[in-house]
Amino acid sequence: MQRRARAWRGENLRVAFVPTMGYLHAGHLSLVRRARQRAGAAGRVVVSIYVNPTQFGPNEDLSRYPRDFARDSRLCRAAGVDVLFAPADGEMYPAGEAGPYSTYVVEETLSRGMEGSSRPTHFRGVTTVVAKLFNLVLPDVAVFGAKDFQQASVIRKMVRDLNFPVRVEVAPTHREADGLAMSSRNKYLTPEQRAQAVVLSQAWRRAREIVAQGAVPVPVLQAELADFIAARPGARLDYIEIFDPETLAPLAQAAPGARLALAVFFGKTRLIDNETI
């Protein structure tokens, strides 16, 4: 991958990159379209598919994470992707002569709250694998989805702090007709859970309506939304945070322009969503 990327650079071709964990859906394909716009017709679009073990906690869904390489491959071909890069675990985290893999990238501020407190080792795995992928693909631009808003902020910060010569772009969340954010994990939902999962987007819409009437103390809004979610049988709230979209710092008052993020369990499946309220 790196040899090819260096050759493209030698030919002055723009490289746009979409890192994924596969099981592609329409949301991923919208990122690929954005990547093609950024690369231009003459440039190169690379998609990576790698279910990165270091970003999963010990009791998370690494082994059952959905995979369908043949289908992903067809979708990438149809979307005009130039290279589908799908490395194996042994290539990404090799045990070498000097012992097992032992180098990690850690962002220490933006990664602390929300997903970082519910999944303590998650962002260390994300920043490490994205740094490695950037070094392999050598992209000019990398496109991430806003559904993982905190992830995009952490990666932007890593890029700035470590001087990666990559522009990070964040594309809007792609949603099903009823508002559910597209995610490979939606596949885990039973039909009943799928019907209830719409509560995530209903919650931020409700928050939008509330703050449109005037600013509210965050604990009041959190309590109201927690009740709203608890009214759905089968939904178990993990967190709701209202924060500054630049610093990710929690806010005391919820007002228009703040960002809301939430995580909700349906059985063992944990879904996230976020939007500006």
Closer residue to ligand PAF in complex, CB, 55/196:
55
CA dist 171 and 141 (Å) reads 12
Interface size with ligand PAF, residues (CB under 6 A): 10
CB of 179 to ligand PAF, least distance (A): 20
Contact code string over 45-84 relative to ligand PAF, x by CB under 6 A: -------x--x-----------------------------
Q: Applying CB under 6 A, which of residues 20, 111, 201, 222 lies at the interface with ligand PAF?
A: 20
Closer residue to ligand PAF in complex, CB, 145/211:
145
Among the residue ranges 14-22, 160-168, 174-182, 249-257, the one whose residues contact ligand PAF (CB under 6 A)? 14-22
Q: Applying CB under 6 A, which of residues 148, 241, 273, 275 lies at the interface with ligand PAF?
A: 148
Distances from the Cα of 111 to the Cαs of 127, 154, 245, in angstroms? 10, 6, 13
- Residue 21 contacts ligand PAF per CB under 6 A: yes
Estimate the share of the chain in helix, then strand, then coil, as percent rounded to the nearest 5: 40, 20, 40
Query: Which pair of structure tokens corresponds to residue 252?
Result: 């005391």
- Residue 146 contacts ligand PAF per CB under 6 A: no
**109-128 positions binding ligand PAF, by CB under 6 A:** 126
The label of the residue with tokens 């493209």 reads 8
The label of the residue with tokens 């491959």 reads 73
Pick the catalytic residue from 25, 28, 122, 174.
28
CB of 112 to ligand PAF, least distance (A): 17
- Residue 186 contacts ligand PAF per CB under 6 A: no
To the query of whether residue 174 is one of the catalytic residues in this protein, the response is no
State the burial class of residue 76 (Cβ atoms within 10 Å of its Cβ: 0-12, 13-18, 19+): buried
What is the Cα gyration radius of the chain? 19
Distances from the Cα of 150 to the Cαs of 38, 113, 168, 259, in angstroms? 23, 9, 13, 11
CA dist 45 and 81 (Å) reads 5
HEC sequence for 132-176: HHHHHHCCCEEEEEHHHHHHHHHHHHHHHHCCCCCEEEEECCCEC
CB of 124 to ligand PAF, least distance (A): 12
Binding site for ligand PAF (CB under 6 A): 19-21, 52, 55, 126, 129-130, 148, 151
Active site residues: 28
